Structure 1
């Protein structure tokens, strides 16, 4: 039964996780920095909303996304009629689901790293005439890279293994939206234990390799920085 395994779900999962991680980095780092430097009710409200994907059951989060971006919703109908873009039951929906489910891990990790940076360093950079954008990329990110990298690892791993939210939003359409966790679920539901075991082993192996490689990279970067210092 496990002969001739379809590797499409694996490739789709890696693509979805990679894309979701990039989206989380681009959108999450500015948010993390803002949260690290602000302390008011708005900050608390934003932090609460960003934490919801972590504590909500995946099916509940997926339901909210269905309501917000489904074809009958205002946003979903507008995207389809204006740009011919469909979110639900498409690979784009899988990316969106994984991004929203995983991005909070990057934001929280990066926020903690940014919070440890002394304000005097930022003020000194401003006195030297550097812009806020320049300071963000040349001062803050290099100083907070360990926390950011840890967040990237967690985000990629979370996006790679997302099941409930992705299934609710993108469904399980063979060779189109079926990611690896969904393929494992489908194989188990079909009673194909040999295929299920093989898919589980592949998924576990890929996750271990990714995490091991990123952890080794983090250690090498740490040693390189010590040598420079």
Structure 2
């Protein structure tokens, strides 16, 4: 049972989240809601967000699993610092992340000249949107993998190794299946974070309609010119976030 002294604080915390969402919903012109969210600009930005976030979530799965396993098993001096660097995007201002990406992969960036020599341009393209989303969402997958591995004793892996299984076989046949629920949670949270990414995307990818203008950018730009469209699209993103996070933690509670 929840202690009575915690009830007021819990209620204040809940209201702090709930009231702004109610206020947002109260500003929606429901009579024109559907035309607003299905307008060319809104639909293009929403579809772009969903498409790039899906790719970013897949990249987080592909890169985050080996990175999380490597950090969990790291025993070298400086492993804690390496983990802190990898997880830094969790607390790093997104604009700073966008600047870092721009100075690394932009035309005049650290690797920009080399990439341009091979005919590859990343900044201010759809690929830049995916990279920005992956940059900010990857730590969610790494944390999910590390947390899942920390709850395991490693007994089954040790048994498989004593039976002659090679490290890759042990990982593929024993460790990876056990990480299934954590990978699902990490992927969904990475997707949700990618859908809502704004600062790094704006700084690194810009805001070109149909190319890099995701739903958060469309909301920001429409805030002054067409507040009704901004509010309607904002409600759509709130619903997406609630559905994604709700489904994730419902699945976690069921296990």
Q: Alpha-carbon deviation of 1:112?
A: 1.2
Identify the residue that residue 54 of structure 1 maps to in structure 2. Answer: 90
Identify the residue that residue 137 of structure 2 maps to in structure 1. Answer: 102
Identify the residue that residue 236 of structure 2 maps to in structure 1. Answer: 202
TM-score by length of 2: 0.79
Distance 2:237 2:151 in 1: 35
Distance 2:248 2:122 in 1: 31
**Looking at CA atoms only, which structure, 1 or 2, has the larger radius of gyration?**
2
Identify the residue that residue 126 of structure 1 maps to in structure 2. Answer: 161
Unaligned runs of 5+ in 1: 223-229
Identify the residue that residue 196 of structure 2 maps to in structure 1. Answer: 161
1:14 maps onto 2:87 in alignment: no
Partner deviation per Cα, 1:61-118 (whole Å, 9 max, x = no partner): 1111111111012411211221x22111001000001001110011012111112221
* Larger displacement relative to structure 2 (163-172 or 149-158): 149-158
Distance 1:51 1:108 in 2: 8
SS of the aligned residue for 2:78 comes to helix
Q: Kindly report the root-mean-square deviation, in angstroms, between the aligned alpha carbons of the 2 structures.
A: 1.9
Distance 1:74 1:102 in 2: 23
Q: How many residues align?
A: 219
Partner deviation per Cα, 1:139-195 (whole Å, 9 max, x = no partner): 1122222322222222111111010011111110111110011110010132x1111
Distance 2:197 2:110 in 1: 26
| Superposition map of 1:139-158 within 5 A | 139-158=174-193
Unaligned runs of 5+ in 2: 1-31
TM-score by length of 1: 0.88
Distance 1:175 1:188 in 2: 18
Q: Alpha-carbon deviation of 1:219?
A: 6.3
Distance 1:15 1:218 in 2: 25
Distance 2:253 2:51 in 1: 26
Identify the residue that residue 193 of structure 1 maps to in structure 2. Answer: 227
Distance 2:194 2:158 in 1: 36
Q: 2:216 aligns with which of 175, 181, 199?
A: 181
Q: Alpha-carbon deviation of 1:134?
A: 1.9
